[in-house]
Structure 1
């Protein structure tokens, strides 16, 4: 069977859930199986709040470098915090972006002898409140609202795949689990050195997560999705929407009934200034081996037989046996400096060089 060649990303209206839920679920089912991406509108997060969040994101990246480096990931084994531009490489090319990773606030509880994935959980690294008033409160408020939206979508995803609404959340998400999010800045091409190229982030799939919600915080182009025939499809910012995509964790757990589609970001063209985006990742639990859930056969029969991807597939076998170890290895591979400082022996055991950067997360 030939690869399905979608040419656009569908827009789903969450207001339809109240007026014609069966039609919404049919559209969602198609997006899950045949696209792996969709926009949502009428999602319930106020545009005024998102505008304020975007301004604070710009304010954070506009801080002097020495201030941002005080929140650098190198200060914590959680991989939460700041990454300077060019700290990651995807598909052997430099990623031209800065980012600030954050999560719901949880204390560090890991100690020697406990599973290594528990070391990923811990407090955020925050900039000085006086340098960026309201930043911490707004970022954490976004996290809470995004998580509530993602969990609502996870219930609808379950229904669209013929399951009970809480089938995914009850089985694959723990209470008080730490979920991650990012603030990202992609400089325009004319703000880069010529040898840097135009790769904001290279072709990848979102590993081990269930769903990603992406707020495109300004109107600049850059996000592209690879359809199942291998063609790149532009995914422009649509005001007051989130872009939602499937993670490889969900793809595995629902027996490929939902597709984790490859995507990338190109740096904005010259003269347009930086692109900003804010993703939230609803993660699958990491504490035990996960067994895929039973999906109705009529859903499984619709799965595409061919899906072209330019993404790498590192550590996939590890995920099926130990999701927690898989998550740690992917983060080490993404941020080799943090890996060298906190996880050197583990990196060496799994053949990850800590002298250069690469991304699998």
Structure 2
């Protein structure tokens, strides 16, 4: 796998026409080769990224009785509110997609809080009250819109690099049906995490078009090495403000596999002791994810410029993005 070099996204948003074109080409190469790319100077200020991590910690530090008030009801609909430790099973999300038999006792050592597009009446977000966490909702809704703009810039760059008609991808994401997630991975013994029953997140593809991810400095994020598919490589952002972007299932389908989704997981950082070290503890970890999704009525079959190359998306023909997401989420709960 080629080394992942952090690209300077400002070359696209404020650079010359030559710099924009070069950035778009590099973005396509990185995403096409690895399934992910690291971005700096993406337009979201470092103080806001730090602030988002701060709000995340404050939410997960709430008493149980407060978090339960925002509990996400398991099922096929887009996730809204707090999901308890291990509620989502990423092992089945990937395994059943690939037709594998997956044991029922594989667990995710993670809790998360999800919300959707501000003003979504079909699937309203479930927020803690303003008296419980004053300022939480307006901060995160503002952060959501900033991520929305970054995701549209990325899709715009891919359209240019692929020489597609203007807004080929972007128009499929209107109106916005994207989702935002705060992840918390509590501290856990290395022995448990290195067993064959528990992972922070099992290998999986994200649902949606692309994912924008911020992680803290604990580490453990890994992507499949496409040159050696049985292996994973560590992806370590330089700091919390550097963004990791990965291709998700819908973009793979839209491009008939020309841009494959990035298979990834979160496991024990390499610096932590192994399963034979009874005393080793993997510290808690936080991450922030914006899942850029297709509009709910958009189709998840190959788009017109890619249909001639398609040979594997017949099942999705006619299926909307919402229907596809609901089908996939049924495997995760």
Task: Say yes or no: TM over 0.5.
Answer: yes
1:27 shift after superposition: 1.0
Classify 1:16/1:132 alpha carbon distance in 2 versus 1 (closer, same or farther; 3 Å): same
Q: Which of 323, 326, 340 is the matching residue for 2:324?
A: 326
Q: Secondary structure at the match of 2:55?
A: helix
Q: Structure 1 140/267 Cα, relative in aligned 2: closer, same or farther at 3 Å?
A: farther
Give the TM-score normalised by the residue count of structure 2.
0.82
Residues 273-298 of structure 1, C-alpha deviation per residue, up to 9 Å, x if partnerless? Answer: 2110011011113325455235489x
CA distance in 1, matches of 2:132, 2:174: 35
The CA deviation string for residues 36-84 of structure 1, in whole angstroms up to 9 with x for no partner, is 1001110111101111111110010011111111100129954311111
Q: 1:319 to 1:267 in 2, by over 3 A?
A: farther
Answering whether residue 170 of structure 2 is matched by residue 169 of structure 1, we say yes
Distance 2:256 2:315 in 1: 17
Residues 288, 296 of structure 1: alpha-carbon distance in 2 compared, 3 angstrom cutoff: closer
> What's the CA shift for 1:327?
1.2
Q: How many angstroms apart in 1 are the aligned matches of 2:38 and 2:158? A: 14
| 1:200 equivalent in alignment to 2:197 | no
Residue range with higher mean Cα deviation, 231-240 or 219-228: 231-240
SS, match of residue 330 in structure 2:
helix
Identify if the C-alpha distance between structure 1 residues 267 and 73 changes in structure 2 by more than 3 Å, giving closer, same or farther.
Answer: farther
Structure-2 residue corresponding to 1:114 = none
| CA distance, structure 2, for counterparts of residue 317 and residue 64 of structure 1 | 47
Equivalent in the alignment of 2:267: 266
> Aligned residues, how many?
299
Matches within 5 A, 1:84-233: 84-91=84-91, 92=103, 93-108=106-121, 121-170=122-171, 172-175=172-175, 177-190=176-189, 197-207=197-207, 209-216=208-215, 218-228=216-226, 229-230=228-229, 231-233=231-233
CA distance in 1, matches of 2:129, 2:289: 23
1:277-296 pair list within 5 angstroms: 277-295=287-305
RMSD: 2.7
Corresponding residue number in structure 1 for 2:11 = 16
CA apart distance, 1:101: 0.7
Q: Deviations over 1:204-238 (max 9, x none)?
A: 1112x11110011x201111000212120101132
* Aligned CA distance change for structure 1 residues 272 and 89 (closer, same or farther; 3 Å): closer
**1:85/1:248 CA distance change after superposition, 3 Å:** same
Equivalent residue for 1:356? none
1:40 aligned counterpart, secondary structure: strand
Question: Which residue of structure 2 aligns with residue 83 of structure 1?
Answer: 83
| Closer/same/farther in 2, CA of residues 28 and 191 from structure 1, 3 Å limit | closer
Contact map agreement 1:179 1:282 (CA 8 A) in 2: yes
* TM-score, length of structure 1 as denominator length: 0.76
Deviation at 1:254, TM superposition (A): 1.5
1:346 equivalent in structure 2? none
Structure 2 unpaired stretches of 5+: 92-102, 273-279
